[in-house]
Amino acid sequence: MFKGSLVALITPFKENQIDFDALTRLVEWHKQEGTHGIVACGTTGEFSSLTLQEQRQILSTCIDAAQGRFPIIAGINAFDVKNAVDLISQAQEVGAQGVMVVNPPYIKPTQEGLYEFFKAIHDQTHLPIIIYNNPGRTGTLITPQTLARLSKCTRFVAVKDSSGNLLAPLELKRLAEEDFTQLCGEDPMTVAFLAHGGQGCISVTANVAPRLCADLYLAWRENDLERVSFIRDCLAPLNKALFIEGNPVPIKYAASLLGLCHNEVRAPLLSASEHARIVVRTALEYAGLIPKEATTRKESHG
């Protein structure tokens, strides 16, 4: 259902308010550039700094701008089942085509606790669900065995895997239901993940390189390994640079260099340091996304 190059969309701000004009332009640009879907209000979208009303407005704006041309998926981050269900109900009300639910942060439940958490959400909601396995942010890994159990539930259609374990997709492919999709959550690992049975990526890098990210997936699907290798190598420095400081700080700066939004994040995040800016600029230039002579001029935006 959800495959290919999906973007973990940034939330553009202007003077600490959501820049809805920039958000609309971003959605349209992603469609033109070949992105296969958008995940809004996730980690990269700074969900933790957004009010419920702001999340609703962001989703509505993305859905209106997409006009049904590709799916808009709502990021769902909650400590308990009730809050998760409330957020999913809001996403369904505004017309989202799916949701991505992360395992509850900080609490560190057992595998059985994780299964019951997700199963309860599944049974109380109606949208297709991507399970977000992100132990680095939440402190808990969802094992392939637990994901395989969940894959038997109708509305669990995919997992976004940010575990960093390249053996996991091989094991899950063997254990899970045949139609359960595996999506990479670590940009530097995308090609290796595809080689191990993955069917796409939910990408941070796609915020500034949507065409290259989409072409990478299409080249893989068409078995054009020369093209895959070229794009992989082209994006390698950028994939690394965008995590030189906490996400989404570097990607916001990178997007500002392309004129996509202001270089603005919400507290407690701070804008990229001078060192991070140099690294990100250099990586964008290497990927051919900004010309060297335009760097200084573009940086003035935001």
Q: Give the 3-state secondary structure percentages of the chain, helix then strand then coil, rounded to 5.
A: 50, 15, 35
**Where is 279: in which H helix or E strand?**
helix 274-286
Amino acid in the structure at residue 124: Q
Q: What's the longest Cα–Cα distance across the chain?
A: 55
Q: Is-contact 43 252, C-beta < 8 A?
A: no
Token pair in block for residue 89: 């109900």
User: What is the distance between the alpha carbons of residues 144 and 301, in angstroms, rounded to a whole number?
Assistant: 44
Neighbouring-strand partners of residue 133: 161
Separation of alpha carbons 37 and 14, rounded Å: 25
Instruction: Let me know: does 223 contact 18? Beta carbons within 8 Å.
Output: no
CA distance 290 to 107: 42
In angstroms, the Cα distances linking 117 to 108, 126, 158, 273 are 12, 16, 16, 39
Would you name the residues annotated as active-site residues?
132, 160
Measured between alpha carbons, how far is 147 from 141 in angstroms, rounded to an integer? 10
